[in-house]
Each structure stands twice: as structure tokens, then as C-alpha cells.
Amino acid sequence: MNYQLDNVKIYSNSINELEQYLTNILRENNSNQIVTFNLDFYRNTKSNDEFRYICEKADLILPDGAGITSLIKLKFGVTLQRITGHDLFILLLKIANEKNLKIALVGSTEE
């Protein structure tokens, strides 16, 4: 089940279930947009229509931050597992290693 903040559907499963989901989409070679959603992102969805649209259409919105998990708990009475961008990155590296997949990292500076 996902919990909605306005039209943004927040992922509510465990990190173990996320690992299975990611393994499946990587195996299928599908392109997916994943957003690690925090309170600042939520605030931006209120004032930035383009950003809100991107979040609403993303394939997966992860609850990245204690603020979002606290808001979900207050609004729906449910405790979600926080899954940060760092957690996602480590999980993707683990899956890539197990499946012998290649990874490309792109940065904003030469360093």
C-alpha cells in the first residue's frame, strides 16, 4: 500500500521488498524514475508545478527523511521505514554486484 501526500504516492513497503522490486526492474532492463522524497521536496511540490508533476509521475517515491515518515505517521497513523538516497545507492550497488551489472556514475565536477 502507498500513502498519498496530495497526489504524491509514498512507498510504504520494507527495504527488503524494495530490493526485490529493484532486482525485477533491473532484470527487465526497464527505465524507472525513483525519487527520494523529503520535506523540502514536499514543500516544493506545493509551489513548483513542474516539480510536482515529476514527483506525481515518478515510478517510485521513497520516504527519505524523518520529516516525511513523521508526517505520514501523523496523517495516517502508520510508521514507514525511512529509505534514504544512501540506502537506495547501497542497495543498487549490491544488486549490481550480485547480477554482474555495470554501473556508471556521473558527477558535476571533475573531482
The pTM of the full predicted model, rounded to 2 decimals, is 0.85
> Could you give the percent of the chain with pLDDT greater than 70?
97
The tens digit of pLDDT for each residue in 36-52 reads 999 999 999 999 999 99
The tens digit of pLDDT for each residue in 54-110 reads 999 999 999 998 999 999 999 999 999 999 999 999 999 999 999 898 888 777 776
Residue 36 makes CB contacts below 8 A (sequence gap 6+) with 62, 64, 83, 84, 85, 88
